[in-house]
Amino acid sequence: MIREAEKEDTKQIIALIAASMPYDTAFARRYYRQYFDDPAGDKVFVWEEEGQILGVAGYCLDLFSTKYSCELGWLTVDADHRKKGIGSKLLKKVEKSAKAQKLRKLFVSAEDCNSGALAFYKKNSFRTEGVLRDFYGLGEDQIILSKWLD
């Protein structure tokens, strides 16, 4: 059910991201266009059932700061399938792949009002690293979380 994403998956991946994070759709389109041309060490995985992509997660290497950390990218699951553990299984796949690349720390960011995402990350052993105040707008903070992979 989990496999590495392929270029042919782009349309379904973008639709999934657009449904849960519409503000990120344009950025996701640019990222996936580049990713499938030259992944540069990044990895993206999808959860597929009967030809439908129901979840996506991946990581981006932090090539400008350290070769030991990466950022979790667009972990999202179709709204009708979120109670099935797909997100946790995709996260475990990302962690296993990152460890295989000798990466040690995984970062992710979430909006402070996204209580579901924050609870999911805390349940999966992420801790708060910092807060970027007014990142999305006045009173809309970005929470930076991380998890050691060792």
Report percent pLDDT > 90 for the chain.
86
Whether the predicted pLDDT of 19 surpasses 90: yes
| Closest of 135, 129, 91, 83 to residue 113, by C-alpha | 135
Q: Is residue 94 part of a domain?
A: yes
Residues 130-147 have a mean pLDDT of: 96
| 92 confidence band (pLDDT: 50, 70, 90) | very high
Please check the confidence at residue 64 and state whether its pLDDT lies above 90: no
- The verdict on residue 90 lying in a domain is yes
Identify the CATH number of the domain in which residue 81 sits.
3.40.630.30
Distance from C-alpha of 44 to C-alpha of 32, rounded to nearest angstrom: 9
Average pLDDT value over all residues in the chain: 94
DSSP 8-state class, residue 63? T
User: Domain tally for the chain?
Assistant: 1
CA distances from 63 to 12, 37, 41, 42, 69 (A): 28, 17, 10, 10, 9
> pTM for the whole thing?
0.92
Which residues span the domain enclosing 76?
A: 2-105
Q: Is 135 helix (H, G, I), strand (E, B) or coil?
A: strand
Q: Tell me the CB-side half-sphere exposure of residue 40, using CA atoms within 13 A.
A: 14
pLDDT grade, residue 66 (50/70/90)?
A: confident
Q: Would 10 be classed as within a structural domain?
A: yes
pLDDT of residue 58: 96
pLDDT tier at 87 (50, 70, 90 boundaries)?
very high
- Residue 111 in domain: no
List Cβ neighbours of 126 (8 Å cut-off, separation of 6 or more).
106, 108, 145, 146, 147
Backbone angles phi, psi at 59, to 5 degrees: -145, 150
Contact in structure between 35 and 45 (CB atoms under 8 Å): no
Q: Residue 65 pLDDT more than 90? A: no
